Amino acid sequence: RVSVADANRAPEASAPAAVPAPAAPAAADFPGASTSSPLKGVRKVVAKRMMESLTTTAQLTLNTSANAAGILALRKKVKNADEALGLNKITLNDLVCFAVSRTLLKYPVFNAHLEDGVLTEFEQVHLGFACDTPRGLLVPVICSAQSLGLKAFSDEAKRLAGGAIDGTLPPDYLGGGTFTVSNIGSFGIETFTPVINLPQTAILGVGAITPRPALAPDGTVGIEQRLNLSLTIDHQVIDGADGARFLRDLVAAIENIDVTVLA
């Protein structure tokens, strides 16, 4: 037993020794190194035009896909053709753009400009195509694209792209487009929302070709290679149903590309 006297004679318990706080870590390098520079050149122009496009138009994007079997077969055929024919350099993008140039003839409101409330529809298709260059995004224009045969169409596209990339393309070939195609499918992008190139009323985005399950007539399931398409329209002058009809006809032109190039 512990008596009161024992408790009084016991030494006072000593307080536990204080544990020193860990040293604070050195101040972090926040936010770290950085550089600042004003937008200039092509980048500044693109930034201004993209903002104008998104703030002055009513943009709506519709997505679909086309069976790529026909276009892949034709691309393979021309790639393996006699070099003397000059068809070997025709690309999938050439074939898609060629189909676009023919489909636009049936849809004048897509091949048009909208400026200050005035809609101008064009008889000829002046087809722009987005081109990634060392200076930034440029859009060369194939003038009167609807009048060119496939080889001439492809040759002109190569000439314009080459000039845009090496900086020798005259400015006259970078304006006046009535419709634009933007193809980033080679990067594996399936669908995206292309921004209308003012003052045009629509733009087509071309995505990657991807495998999709498909039901055959006999009920079996197979695999189809599908080409992804994204169409942005200005809803001020183009209704969603018209956009759907345009895509329907474009899909038919792509899926039957061997007939389209003969028309």
Judge whether 239 counts as a catalytic residue. yes
Handedness of CA 56, 62, 66, 72 (dihedral sign): positive
In what helix (H) or strand (E) does residue 195 lie, and over which residues does it extend?
none
Write down the catalytic residue from 235, 242, 249, 258.
Answer: 235
Classify residue 228 as exposed, middle or buried by CB count within 10 Å of its CB (0-12, 13-18, 19+).
Answer: buried
DSSP state of 32: -
Write down the catalytic residue from 239, 242, 249, 258.
Answer: 239
Q: Establish how many alpha carbons lie within 13 A of residue 104's alpha carbon, considering only the half-sphere containing its beta carbon.
A: 33
| Tokens found for residue 68 | 């790529």
**Helix/strand/coil for 215:** strand
Report the C-alpha gap between 205 and 60 in whole angstroms.
Answer: 13
Report the C-alpha gap between 200 and 120 in whole angstroms.
Answer: 10
Largest Cα separation within the chain, whole Å, is 119
Active site members: 235, 239
